[in-house]
Structure 1
Amino acid sequence: MDLIQSFDALPRNLQECFLDTGSSFRKDQKIIASTVIDVWFGLYGIENIICMHYLQDLASHKLLELLPLGKNEYEDGFFNEFLVKQDNIFREFAINQCEKDSFSIFERKRLNLDIQENNFPNWCLNPKQPITINASLLSISTDESFTSNWIEMDCPNVEALVLNLASSNYALPNFITTMKKLKVVMIINHGPDPVKLTNLSCLSSLPNLRRIRIEKASISLLDIPKLQLNSLEKLSLWLCHFVEVLNDLEVDNVSESFQSLQEIEIDYCYNLFELPYWIFQVVSLKKLSITNCNKLCSLSEVIGNLKNLEMLRLSSCNSLFELPETVQRLSNLRVLDVSGCFQLKKLPLEIGKLKKLKKISMRDCYRCELPDSMKTLENLEVKCDEGTVFLWKRFKPKMKNLRITEEETEHNLNLLQLF
């Protein structure tokens, strides 16, 4: 079956998602699954798990590849463990299909704007009338020579914005302020080093912005709460470099600034020594995922303020040596993941107070001491490896419905494709 037949055989919803993926990202790009899922969320408002099923369906039709980077799990709603690859032929086909949707560039549902050096396409340079883009998905790709010399555009209907960049300095375009319907922003750096991002303030005027993802950028974590992102629900930072010494006790009104924020993901950020204080003031937070941050050695005791936190994921933070005792105050915590934290010496003494805790993952935690209060937990599922399973077996007779799953530690070569 040729490509056209494969595409025509898809249900309409998968056709749309296929065209979105092909229109959003650069050729030869390897995409973390969460990035694609966030774009689809912005365009269709569908749940993350349904988006993951769409990815699996497209992979089963051979229209993309879905490669596991870890344990091939996503039941906890964490999708950074998968890599999406799409053949350039499929990408070009998707762009061609989008061009057929409307003769006018300005009326297309999806628009891919490719800027080489500082040369915009001719249709951007018409001085006779203002440029109005009516696309709901806008992808802008620039090269290493681009100097952020933007033209003015009006983009009132854009709901998902993908910025693919490669320069060492990059100023976000001011015309983002015209995107009043914008729900998702993806800022993806393809250059060898973290890009210095400026003009982040243009995001502060967007009333519907739900998700922000920034990859391989040099930013100040203290600038983020200043943006007053009242509608933001998810913040994702991947391979970012944080430029400041974290001393942010003076940040005010964080709960008001982030009254909708439920999820923070920080992954592969190697110079993260500690989390900024303002994160622990986001009382609406339900998921906090700090993974593969090798220099993070401890968490602040004020983490106990996060009364609504349901998931705490700290996997592969291999300098983390303890969790603060205030973790016992996270009364809504359901999932704790400390896998790969092989320096971790103990869990909080009164962790047994977390009556809603139903799952603990702790592979490669053979140094960790389990407190006696653990025995009061019921219906607990534990995932561990051969080196840590003995820690739990002594609790087996004392804990009601304790389930222990022993898994082997894997080293997945697909990880090399991320860097």
Structure 2
Amino acid sequence: MASAETFVFYIAQKVLEKLGSLTFQEARLIWGAESDLRRLEKTLSTIKAVLLDAEEQQVHNQELTVWLGQLKEVFYDAQDVLDEFECEALRRQVVETQGSTTRKVRRFFSSSNPLLFRTKMAHKVKEIRALLDKVAADRAKFHLSERSDDRHVVRGREMSYSFVQASDVIGRDQDKENIVEHLMDPSDGQSISVVPVVGIGGLGKTALAKLVFNDERVIEHFELKCWVCVSDEFVLKQLLVKIIKSITSENRSDLDEEQLQVLLRNNLDGKKFLIVLDDVWNEDRGKWIELRNLLMGGANGSKILVTTRSPTIASMMGTMSPFNLEGLLHQDCLSLFIKWAFDEGKERQHINLVEIGDAIVKKCKGVPLAVKSLGSLLYSKLDERDWLFVRDNEMWKLNRKEGDILSVLQLSYNQMPYYLKQCFALLSLLPKDYNFNTFDLIPYWMANGLLQSPNENQQPEDVGNQYIDGLYSRCFLEDYIDLGFMRAFKIHDLAHDLALSSAQSECLIINCQVQNIPKKVWHLSYTDNTWHNENVLKCLQKSKSLRTILFTVEGVGPSTKSFVDLCLSKFRYLRVLDLSDSSFEVLPSSIGTMKHLRLLDLTNNCRIHKLPNSICKLQNLQTLKLHGCEKIEELPKDIRYLIRLRTFSITTKQKCLPRCSNSLRALGLFNCGNLESLVETMQVCTSLRFLLIVNCGGLTSLPPTLKFLTMLEALGIENCEKLDLTEMEDNQDDFPTSLRSLRFTGLPQLVAMPNWIKHSAKSLQILDIQSCPNLTTLPEWLVNLESLRQLTILNCHKLSCLSKGKLCLPALRSFRIAECPELIRRCQPEIGEDWHKIAHASEIYLDYKRIK
């Protein structure tokens, strides 16, 4: 498994990058310490050259592991010191640009005497340099070799989809038929039957369950279907919330357990249902019986399908013999391997590689995840030596209880570049089955300084998307959906285990079992209410170097100001502070002293009324999340001073929002019912790439300045009853031409599609129109959307045809129409007047049923 100390090479590289950056060069000329900084840089470069060798050799040398741990601490301390130079440079930048005409700004950003700052920083740099010299002196005794990291992210082929495609699951047809037969059997003598599927990790239990869940016969047989990922925790309330959310699409975590039980019984009463409990680990029979009793209100013939790795659990929960999932046959494994290792048909040109691949597949023992992982690892590699390296690797000598699958994944992990390894490791802080999306994950990586690009002009959000694609191409991710402007996914259970192993001493998940928090922990997350546990709080006070605090379970967050006070007083170097689902009333004004903070999340705090204006002193802040804070009266008036803010989500009672910084890239407005104008907010946001406006009932129009957002890629507008989108029809030639995704939902004022959309004809890939009751026609220029690959139209009853003229969308792959009676009639296969316009799409749904 992963080495005891990891990422040391990468952290050293990040410190060197910071020392060489233009921002820092300017800062150190102003604030001095030039000589010590040059010596620090020289020592660091010398050490970095041998770190890759050191990280590899430490497996056999505990003393080397200790040395690397000492280096890592010094490197992190160096990052913090160098950050202080940048913070001061940013403060000066705000004063110079915003405060040239007013003393008020200068007073707001007043700091200590420049001479004192210079003296203090010179002392800190000297201290760091001395520490590094002391630790570095020991490197000679380890006889390390110089090496460089020349690995890079290889992007795999596009294989994204929103559910399991039958064609992508090989060798499970008979298994599917057997399970479907059990689910539809009315004569098994049980009012509610439990069908267990058991097998080792990576065997494809979840993929098989999804095939069954989406089978047309199953869909028609059951009145109600529900999918719940259970994973490690088997907490009744959390399971009830998940089941109800799957059935009703509503999150009712605000209800207590008794209310949830009543709501569940009401939803299941008398209905024949299918519930899938995926990835069950709980062996406590009492907990299972407690849940089972709540599910007994359904009609006869209801079924529960359980997937688990444990035969004990399968036997405990099942009302029939467990369905033991076996490994794939060799020929099926080879077919799967070829599908992932070659572009279609290209394997015929490389018979020698197929022969080596055959030997590799035999070692995978029928485990599909192992086969896919190694196939994707070798994709696009045509040098025979790469294939022989995998076939003859020492990992096959290791014996692991998961059928060597973790060793296989470890090989894929080892081949990753170091910057991607650390991003992957931080995923371990989120629980298994966590629903990731790029708008949450990429700012988290960015806040910890993990995104790097050889191209200075490349946006960090684009780099983050490339990292996610890199993890997906290695089969570490599942349920992967590429929406163009956003990716959504989960991390595979076994990949999560690997991430936990690779994170090791850097990351810690806090729960009721944790008795001690090591001093070297830099990132931690809470999975329950232990944030107020006295022992945990006492241990936290010893961990002064924390960079990340996360609350990862929906509905669980700190409720007292004392916990926030502890965070702000003890953890001065925090980069990420996630206080989502909290319920304290006041955010202390001392938040303004957290100058290293990059991400602050107050999502769904239902009690806070306002934010202190001191928050506007956080010049390093990149992400601020305030959506769901429904009692906020107004935003701080100096919000424009956040000159590095890139992602901003808001819920507020204001009629007009204050002006934001032109650094903004993503803006989300949620439940701002009083909002009437966006003119001032959008005045300088010319670099905006994503704009989402949801439930803003008072908004009547979008500002004319929208036409200057030439970088806008995604626009979503939902449930804005008064919004008239046709008011911007003047000067249409000035409207954005870079839109890739457009979503209109719940817009009663929308009678016809705005003409300004046609200027994105070459770029628009996704068009989603829902619940626009007065929309009567689609425009003739629809035919010009040459890049459109996904078209969705739902609940637009007055819409009678796709377009009056000829419609040919050459890139169209997914076409969905529902609750549009006349349009559905015209799109009927073969016989509908509009069928020929969409027949070339590879995926067609009419009234939620897949036609093609």
TM-score w.r.t. length of structure 2? 0.37
Q: Does 1:36 align with 2:463?
A: no
**Bigger share in helix:** 2
Paired amino acid for 1:314: F
Counterpart residue identity of residue 288, structure 1: L
Question: How many residue pairs end up in the alignment?
Answer: 366
**Are 2:657 and 1:223 equivalent residues in the alignment?**
yes
* 1:206 equivalent in alignment to 2:642: yes
| Distance verdict in 2 for CA 1:380–1:320, change over 3 Å | same
Residue 107, structure 1, aligned to residue 511, structure 2: no
Q: Look up the SS of the partner of 1:312 in the other structure.
A: strand
Greater RCO structure (CA 8 Å; 6+ sep): 1
8 Å CA contact retained: 2:802, 2:834: no
Match in the other structure for 1:290: 717
Q: Could you tell me whether the CA contact under 8 Å between 1:259 and 1:282 is conserved in 2?
A: yes
Give the corresponding residue for 1:182. Answer: 621
User: In terms of mean alpha carbon deviation, does 142-151 or 230-239 score higher?
Assistant: 142-151
3-state secondary structure, aligned to 1:219: coil
8 A contact 2:748–2:773 mirrored in 1: yes
Q: Say which SS state the counterpart of residue 181 (structure 1) adopts.
A: coil
> Equivalent of 2:767, from 336, 344, 350?
336
The reply to whether residue 258 of structure 1 matches residue 685 of structure 2 is yes
Q: Report the alpha carbon displacement of residue 258 of structure 1 after superposing the two structures with TM.
A: 2.1
- One-letter identity of the residue aligned with 2:715: L
List gaps (5 residues or longer) in structure 2: 1-230, 234-280, 282-405, 411-420, 452-463, 491-508, 513-525, 551-556
Q: Does 1:308 align with 2:738?
A: yes
Please state how far the C-alpha of 1:185 moved relative to its aligned partner: 0.9
Aligned residue type for 1:261: L
What is aligned with 1:345?
776
CA distance in 1 between partners of 2:690 and 2:711 (Å): 9
Given that 2:657 and 2:678 are in contact with CA atoms closer than 8 Å, whether structure 1 keeps it comes out as no
The match for 2:426 is 16
Structure 1 match to 2:594: 155
CA contact (8 A) 2:485 2:713 kept: no
Question: Residue 359 of structure 1 corresponds to which residue in structure 2?
Answer: 790
Tell me the equivalent position of 1:63: none
In structure 1, distance between residues paired with 2:486 and 2:564: 38
Question: Could you say which structure has the larger radius of gyration?
Answer: 2
1:195 to 600, 611, 632: 632
Q: Does the aligned pair in 2 maintain the 1:48–1:77 contact within 8 Å?
A: no
Distance 2:803 2:559 in 1: 58
Contact 1:32 1:80 in 2 (8 A): yes
Where does residue 46 of structure 2 map in the other structure?
A: none
**What amino acid does structure 1 have at the position aligned with 2:747?**
C
Deviations 1:314-333 (A, max 9, x none): 13434422212333232332
Paired with 2:847 and 2:562, the residues of 1 have a C-alpha distance of 52
Q: 1:354 to 1:313 in 2, by over 3 A?
A: same
Note closer, same or farther for the CA distance 1:156–1:36 as it changes in structure 2 (3 Å cut): same
* 1:373 CA displacement: 3.6
SS, match of residue 237 in structure 1: strand
Counterpart mapping for 1:316-331 below 5 A: 316-331=746-761
Partner AA of 1:109 in structure 2: R
Which amino acid in 2 is paired with 1:195?
A: I
Shift of 1:298: 3.7
Match of 2:468 in 1: 50
- Displacement of 1:233 in angstroms is 1.1
Contact 1:209 1:232 in 2 (8 A): yes
Is residue 358–residue 379 contact of structure 1 (8 Å, CA) maintained in 2? yes
What is the Cα deviation at residue 162 of structure 1? 1.1
Q: CA deviation at 1:309?
A: 1.6
- Aligned residue in 1 for 2:313: none
**Letter in structure 1 aligned against 2:706:** I
Q: CA deviation at 1:93?
A: 8.2
Distance 1:223 1:32, change over 3 A: farther
Deviation readout 1:66-91 (Å, 9 max, x if unpaired): 9xxxxx96534457999xxx998762
Query: Equivalent residue for 2:847?
Result: 408
State the 1:124 CA deviation.
7.7
Q: What's 1:75 paired with? A: 483
1:274 partnered with 2:681? no
Shift in CA distance, 196/299, structure 1 to aligned 2, threshold 3 Å: farther
> Is the 1:269–1:292 Cα contact (8 Å) retained in structure 2?
yes
Task: Using the TM superposition, give the Cα deviation of residue 345 of structure 1 relative to its aligned residue in structure 2, in angstroms.
Answer: 0.8
Aligned to 1:218, the other structure's residue is in SS state coil
Contact conserved, 2:713 with 2:741, CA < 8 A, in 1?
yes
> Corresponding residue for 2:606?
166
Cα separation, partners in 2 of 1:324 and 1:262, compared to 1, 3 Å: same
Aligned position for 1:69: none
Q: Distance in 2 between matches of 1:93 and 1:301?
A: 49
Cα offset, 1:210, TM superposition? 1.4
CA distance in 1, matches of 2:632, 2:583: 10
% same residue: 18
Indicate conservation of the 8 Å contact 2:485/2:740, yes or no.
no
The alpha-carbon deviation at position 274 of structure 1 amounts to 2.8
Residue identity matched to 2:818: D
In terms of fraction of residues, the more strand-rich structure is 1
SS in 2 for 1:196: coil
* Cα offset, 1:187, TM superposition: 1.2
Q: Write out per-residue CA displacement over residues 11-62 of structure 1, whole angstroms, 9 at most, x where no aligned residue.
A: 975652353689xxxxxxx9995763364354344229939x89xx9999xx
Partner of 1:27: none
Q: 1:320-379 CA distances to partner (integer Å, 9 max, x unpaired)?
A: 222123332323322211133232111223332333333321122342243334524324
1:174 offset after TM fit, Å? 3.5
- Tell me if the contact between 1:106 and 1:135 (Cα under 8 Å) persists in the aligned partners: no
Deviations 1:394-417 (A, max 9, x none): 23446783556124359xxxxxxx
2:673 equivalent among 233, 241, 244: 241
Specify the alignment match of 2:205 in structure 1.
Answer: none
C-alpha deviation, 1:290, in angstroms: 0.9
- Displacement of 1:99 after TM fit? 7.5
Q: Deviations over 1:227-258 (max 9, x none)?
A: 2x2221111122222333x484xx6994xx22
Distance in 1 (alpha carbons) for counterparts of 2:746 and 2:488: 13
What is the rounded CA distance, in whole Å, between the counterparts of 2:568 and 2:694 in structure 1?
39
Q: Which moved more, 1:290-299 or 1:98-107?
A: 98-107
DSSP 3-state at the match of 1:92 = coil
Distance 1:317 1:105, change over 3 A: farther
Aligned-pair CA distance for 1:284: 1.6
Instruction: Give unmatched runs, 5+ long, in structure 1.
Output: 23-29, 61-65, 67-71, 411-419
Structure 1 175/120 Cα, relative in aligned 2: closer, same or farther at 3 Å?
A: farther
- Root-mean-square deviation (CA, aligned residues, Å) is 4.7
Give the structure 2 partner of residue 26 of structure 1.
none
Instruction: State which drifts further: 276-285 or 140-149.
Output: 140-149
